[in-house]
A and B are shown apart, each in its own frame.
Chain A
Amino acid sequence: MDRIFAAIFTPEFLFSVIRVSTPLILGSMAALICNRGGMLHIAFEGVMLSAAFFGMLASAVTQNIILGLLGAVAGGLLISMLLGYFNLVLNSDRTLTGIALNTFASAGTVFALYLLVQDKGTSSSLPSLVVPNIDIPILKDIPVLGTVLSGHNALTYAAFLTVFITYIIIFRTPLGLRIRTVGENPNAAASVGINVMKIRFITLAISAVIASLGGAYMSMGYLSWFSRDMIAGRGFMAIAAQNLGAALPLPSFLASLAFGAVTALANVLQTLNMPSEIIQSLPYVATLIGLGFFGYAAQKSGRKRTKAILDKARAAEGEKS
């Protein structure tokens, strides 16, 4: 037990929380935007996986980080635009299409990987470029705080920034107002001449760009290669995080950090010779517990509120008579 606490109460642990939270933060912002626009889907897993693969490929081929990131975004957009086409144009079921695209991305990337490097596991023989880490001047010299917050991957800082940008887009721009309108009452949007399908495609596209950065982080930061199914459920955890955050940017960000903390904890415990099968399931168990607790708390506070309102009303009646 002591060894565990010793491992957790260190600046290095908090640093790793932020490190593993990065794809969850980006993923949850992407899911949040889709949710606001009434387009929440389950293909973030596929979007991020495709982005991770194309990020690796583009950066390895061009030896240029920017082009690598653009490749990742293109890879993510590919999946999400396919989803848009099937769901919005051909009227397919969004969940079924999401399942199909997730499996397609999983198998398709392995297939392409094999064609490229004759390996079905990783692209280690075709390493991707890694987005550089950034030391923040002044901050990096502050003890503890510097260790925790400075020296992260540039994409991690981009993730923090995305939380703010998401808030601006959704709540402060005309486009955000339209996204929310389409999400809540598409007929109302159509009746004032808003092109509902266009807004939905834009919603999917913005969200895919953000999720793609999360995918790129996996193969161009967290690791320096692509490996099969490397998103490993993060796309789903991101959906859960924005759900716990009630589709609001800051609470969703905090929920992502919470899931990240559990993942980091699992990583630490693994180094301490705990049975890895159990440890590795921790983040997923945490997601389940999080969702269950959220539902329970909402129900309980609802009941409490009901009682309070009724009591108050009765008291008011009593005074009158």
Chain B
Amino acid sequence: MKYSIFSLARAAFSGHKTWQRTWRDASPKDHYDVVIIGGGGHGLATAWFLASEYGIRNVAVLEKGWIGSGNAGRNTTIIRSNYGLPGNTGFYELSMKLWERMEQDLNYNTMVSQRGVINLYHSDAQRDAYARRGNTMRINGIDAELLDLAAVKKMMPFLNFDNARFPVQGGLLQRRGGTARHDAVVWGYAHAASALGVDIIQNCEVTGFSRDANGKVTGVETSRGTIGAGKVGMAVAGSSSRVAAMAGLRLPIESHVLQAFVSEAIKPLLPNVMTFGAGHFYVSQSDKGGLVFGGDIDGYNSYAQRGNMPVMEDVCEGGMALMPMIGRVRLLRQWGGIMDMSMDGSPIIDKTPVDGLYLNAGWCYGGFKATPGSGLVFAHLLARDELHTEAARFRLDRFRRGAVIDEKGVGAQTNLH
């Protein structure tokens, strides 16, 4: 089905009763050229790029639950490309450019909203660091503006500018950043991939790998039977260690829980995505009016998809420091997602030491914005057996070589590196 103003009008005249399923819920075949484990944004995007860019359409995406039931549906929907280190800068900008054309590419409304992302700074040192990051971005052709206090006051007059301990001094603004509707991203990729022949198989948990005498992966064992595969790609961030262990691999990853929060709906307040530079707090306002926000990971290994009170308190304190008036707003929902915390804070997209098994992992808490870029470069790797030029540094062996990409300089936990 192709969506357009005409299909909308036609459906409207029939009381919206003629809409069909936007993607096919498939049953597994015996064999695929490529099997992707994980029906989140990254897995589905990979399948779509394989089919659309690389002409490989005999592809299956296996999902343990329902598509988008993991981190794709648990994030705070922020998209941006304001990174400073070689390896990250180009990759996230590639992803940003794909966000900008996603709705046309997929023929699906993913509600990409380039409302701007502003990182506030609160000290001279932080201003210098942000100026440097902004300059790095501009050298690489990415938009960035360093705003002074007057410009921030004009843009967001409701902030607390009387904070004596952490005074707002200005901010680094990327106007092209913003938000997207996370569920629609999942459904959009499913819609477009399915139309090109990709099988999306839900309720299909991978329980092991089939290997030949040389150790090459020849398929996957699943709760719905054995499925043969020319190549297998893993896109199961949060559970990467568990799936990799089935192939005998240990990864430089710890799984941690990251919480996110949404308030009751209020009238339009926030014009953009904003981060507090003196703590860890990021916030945007959804189209329904709720403030969607989050902060740090809880800080202990977890697969539980729920967090604890101390981080909730810390995050809300960050929000109150910037916007004291939200203390009157009630919290509507709170949830947790499981993050692949890699040891340098950057993702891993590479072949594994196991022949036929490919890895897309380690997204820490920045995976959503990378969804289209991750799909493209992972599809490139699966199709061509070579690293995409914009993801050439996300190698699995970079830790052993000392070529880490430590954008934040902390690793899986702040006390380790």
A-B interaction: no
Interface residues of A (CB under 8 A from B): none
Interface residues of B (CB under 8 A from A): none
